[in-house]
């Protein structure tokens, strides 16, 4: 392989390593400093915690004075419930659109695709009204319903492409044996589209977990706060307590980083596969 | 793709069972609120809660009332600046990183990709606080860092001055989201047939010219898609400004964008009470701006660029 002199492999690695440092350094700086005493945070912010500077006072403060466990539980419930609805209902709709020929199917597909480009946030004024009239204000149910509506368009779009590629033989063979359409969907189609479901799951999860807007307007109560909202309010209150602020940020960052490192291959495959289409 | 065996029976229960739940939830919590918000922008809601039809008067207020129009124009202008900085900084860096990652026989490319994408995964609120701490003059870690590259005066209060706040916030957002153009463009680059690049290299081109002359023109449709995604995301942004500068988007509204203006209008701030119908009007205008961006993409750019697609 001829590599140009201007862009030798060493130079390429140097550039990529520099950018990787730019991307990671701020995050690592916060995590390291959250394990240090207040004095060390200010005196030597760039050094790693050692035996002298190691201090968990920030974490004690956060876990003692805020309901971090509640926030986590709320975020997990909302994310898991929304994810389940988006995957199951999305796969069902995608199957219906890909498999059955019915009058208006193109219209329904287009109708469902609008939500890919138009942000659901813009409907917030009416959405709040609807949630209030349903008596769902300050409930996690409200968030689950909104996030399900938000996640469905892209899920249906991706899954429909995927289902359309499934060969007809399998389905036809099952139909000849008199298997019902529901069984075909549940026992044949769903297992076949597992890779696409994983991709959709990642795309659905991240914006739901990270969202601030809907928790802020639909469920701002202490009992229903998600991690993103909880941390926003906690830091607002404890803005001068550096140990607590750094510790709360670390508590919010680390679980996501661990999950990300476990699932990154899946996520990146999904991102790149999606764009290829 | 329709299967033959489904033709015949005119009414198919299973079709409705499969389709209806998704359509209902999506319609009830997405389409109906969007349409109802557009409708509400033509109403005025009194203090007792009754709404009365007032035609275009909310829009007239936003564009002609001195206070409203100043706020609106300021937010719209800032939002375009926010978008412009993403287009000029985030997308070129993303393309550049993708080009490096797609070089043949590069080792560790998956590791680089995974690590560079990491900030994108975190919540915008957390990213906002991280940078607020790093840039804080109280901590001083930013001063130490710029000291390494020869700036001994330390950092100015980047998030505290009118002239720098919006730029700084935009760059924080760029830093967080550079992974998205990188990934999408990288995927597009993988699709460029190797033969084309190999042929050029045999003819004496280097990787650099091969990228500019062959690969980049071929991936322009993806660049256009990344641009419209950036546009929609930027005009829908809110979390970062709210987390770092609050709903008032200070100092003196210098970091105010459409999302924060919408929030303040809808919920009120300080002594100003919230106003749902004016909020709906701001949201409708955001809708229009986003729709314009998407339309430009769909009709003009997409149609012209499709010719180059393989």
Specify if A3 maps to a domain.
Answer: no
Specify if A198 maps to a domain.
Answer: yes
Residue B4: predicted pLDDT: 44
The stretch A211-228 carries a mean pLDDT of 93
Residues 6+ apart with CB under 8 A from B255: B78, B165, B166, B169, B241, B244, B245, B249
Contact flag B34-A123 (C-beta cutoff 8 Å): yes
* Chain A residues whose beta carbon lies within 8 Å of the beta carbon of residue B32: 123, 126, 130
CB-based contact (8 Å) between A48 and chain B?
no
Give the confidence band of A93 by pLDDT, cuts at 50, 70, 90: very high
- Pick from A3, A112, A256: which is nearest to B121 by CB? A256
* Chain B residues whose beta carbon lies within 8 Å of the beta carbon of residue A92: 17-19, 21-22
User: Do A29 and A79 belong to one domain?
Assistant: no
User: Do A179 and A124 belong to one domain?
Assistant: yes
User: Do A107 and A157 belong to one domain?
Assistant: yes
Residue B302: predicted pLDDT: 63
Residue B308: predicted pLDDT: 52
The stretch B114-125 carries a mean pLDDT of 93
Domain count, chain A: 2
CA A52 from chain centre, in angstroms, equals 38
Residue B105: predicted pLDDT: 83
| Domain-ending residue, one of A181, A205, A229 | A205
User: Do A113 and A14 belong to one domain?
Assistant: no
CB-based contact (8 Å) between A172 and chain B?
yes
CA-wise closest residue to B188 among B72, B95, B88: B95
Residues B203-262 pLDDT 10s: 888 888 888 888 898 888 889 989 999 999 999 999 999 999 998 988 999 999 999 999
| Domain-ending residue, one of A175, A205, A235 | A205
Residues 6+ apart with CB under 8 A from B91: B181, B223, B226, B227, B230
Segment 50-79 of chain A within 8 Å of chain B by CB: none
Residue B18: predicted pLDDT: 95
- Pick from B139, B179, B206: which is nearest to A6 by CB? B206
* Chain A residues whose beta carbon lies within 8 Å of the beta carbon of residue B186: 272
Domain B66-308: CATH architecture, name and number where available: Orthogonal Bundle (1.10)
Give the confidence band of B307 by pLDDT, cuts at 50, 70, 90: low
Segment 112-141 of chain A within 8 Å of chain B by CB: 112, 114-115, 117-127, 129-130
Contact flag B184-A275 (C-beta cutoff 8 Å): yes
Residue A170 to residues A91, A128, A167, A188: CA-CA distances in angstroms? 18, 46, 7, 8
Residue B5: predicted pLDDT: 44
User: Do A192 and A80 belong to one domain?
Assistant: yes
Residue A1 has pLDDT above 80, yes or no: no
Residues A250-260 pLDDT 10s: 999 998 888 88
* Chain B residues whose beta carbon lies within 8 Å of the beta carbon of residue A136: none
Query: Helices A9-33 and B109-121 sit at what angle, rounded to 10 degrees?
Result: 40
User: Do A142 and A39 belong to one domain?
Assistant: no
CB-based contact (8 Å) between A256 and chain B?
yes
User: Do A140 and A39 belong to one domain?
Assistant: no
User: Do A45 and A77 belong to one domain?
Assistant: no
**What range does the domain containing A136 cover?**
73-205
Residues 6+ apart with CB under 8 A from A60: none
User: Do A123 and A167 belong to one domain?
Assistant: yes
Residue of A nearest to B225 (CA): A275
Residue A271 has pLDDT above 90, yes or no: no
User: Which long-range contacts link B288-292 to residues 24+ away (Cβ below 8 Å)?
Assistant: B289/B76, B289/B79, B289/B235, B289/B258, B290/A117, B290/A118, B290/A119, B290/A122, B290/B231, B290/B232, B290/B235, B290/B236, B291/A118
Query: How far is the alpha carbon of B37 from chain A, nearest alpha carbon, in Å?
Result: 6
User: Do A191 and A84 belong to one domain?
Assistant: yes
Residue A2 has pLDDT above 60, yes or no: no
Residues B71-99 pLDDT 10s: 999 999 999 999 999 999 999 999 999 99
Residues 6+ apart with CB under 8 A from A14: none
| Domain-ending residue, one of A160, A184, A205 | A205
User: Do A134 and A19 belong to one domain?
Assistant: no
User: Do A199 and A110 belong to one domain?
Assistant: yes
């Amino acid at each position: 392989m001829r590599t140009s002199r201007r862009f030798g492999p060493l130079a390429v690695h140097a550039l990529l390593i520099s950018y990787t440092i730019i991307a990671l350094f701020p995050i690592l700086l916060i995590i390291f400093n959250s394990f240090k005493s207040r004095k060390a945070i200010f005196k030597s912010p760039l050094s790693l915690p050692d035996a002298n500077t190691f201090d968990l006072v920030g974490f004690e403060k956060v876990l003692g004075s805020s309901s971090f466990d509640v926030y986590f539980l709320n975020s997990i419930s909302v994310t898991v419930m929304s994810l389940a609805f988006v995957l199951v209902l999305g796969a069902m709709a995608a199957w219906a659109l890909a498999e059955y020929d019915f009058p208006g199917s193109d219209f329904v597909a287009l109708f469902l695709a609008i939500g890919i480009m138009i942000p659901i946030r813009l409907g917030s004024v009416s959405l709040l009204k609807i949630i209030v009239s349903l008596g769902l204000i300050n409930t996690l149910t409200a968030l689950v319903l909104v996030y399900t509506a938000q996640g469905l368009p892209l899920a249906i779009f991706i899954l429909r492409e995927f289902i359309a590629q499934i060969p007809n033989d399998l389905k036809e063979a099952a139909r000849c044996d008199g298997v019902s359409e529901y069984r075909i969907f549940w026992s044949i189609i769903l297992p076949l589209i597992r890779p696409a479901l994983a991709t959709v799951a990642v795309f659905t999860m991240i914006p739901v977990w990270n969202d601030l807007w809907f928790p802020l307007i639909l469920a701002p109560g202490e009992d229903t706060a998600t991690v993103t909202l909880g941390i926003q309010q906690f830091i607002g209150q404890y803005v001068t307590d550096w140990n607590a602020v750094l510790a709360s940020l670390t508590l919010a960052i680390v679980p996501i980083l661990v999950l990300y490192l476990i699932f990154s291959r899946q996520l990146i495959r999904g991102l790149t596969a999606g764009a290829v289409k | 793709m329709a299967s033959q065996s489904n033709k015949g029976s005119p009414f198919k229960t299973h079709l409705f069972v499969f389709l209806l739940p998704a359509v209902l939830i999506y319609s009830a919590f997405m389409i109906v609120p969007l349409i109802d918000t557009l409708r509400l922008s033509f109403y005025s809601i009194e203090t007792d809660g009754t709404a009365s039809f007032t035609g275009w008067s909310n829009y007239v207020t936003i564009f002609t009332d001195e206070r409203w129009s100043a706020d609106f124009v300021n937010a719209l202008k800032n939002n375009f600046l926010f978008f412009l900085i993403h287009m000029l900084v985030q997308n070129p860096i993303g393309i550049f990183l993708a080009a490096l990652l797609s070089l043949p026989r590069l080792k560790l490319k998956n590791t680089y990709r995974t690590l560079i994408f990491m900030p994108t995964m975190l919540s915008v609120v957390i990213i906002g606080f991280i940078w607020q701490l790093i840039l804080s003059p109280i901590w001083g870690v930013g001063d130490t860092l710029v000291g390494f590259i020869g700036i001994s005066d330390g950092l100015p209060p980047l998030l505290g001055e009118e002239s720098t706040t919006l730029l700084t916030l935009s760059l924080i957002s760029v830093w967080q989201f550079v992974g998205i153009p990188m990934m999408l463009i990288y995927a597009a680059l993988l699709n460029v047939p190797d033969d084309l690049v190999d042929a050029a290299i045999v003819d004496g081109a280097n990787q650099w010219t091969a990228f500019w002359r062959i690969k980049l023109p071929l991936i322009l449709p993806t660049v256009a898609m990344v641009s419209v995604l950036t546009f929609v995301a930027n005009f829908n942004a809110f979390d970062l400004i709210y987390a770092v500068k609050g709903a008032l988007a200070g100092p003196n509204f210098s970091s105010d964008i459409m999302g924060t203006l919408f929030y303040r209008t809808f919920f009120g701030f300080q002594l100003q009470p919230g106003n749902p119908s004016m909020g709906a009007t701001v949201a409708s205008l955001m809708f229009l701006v986003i729709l314009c961006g998407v339309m430009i993409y769909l009709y003009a750019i997409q149609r012209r660029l499709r010719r180059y697609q393989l």
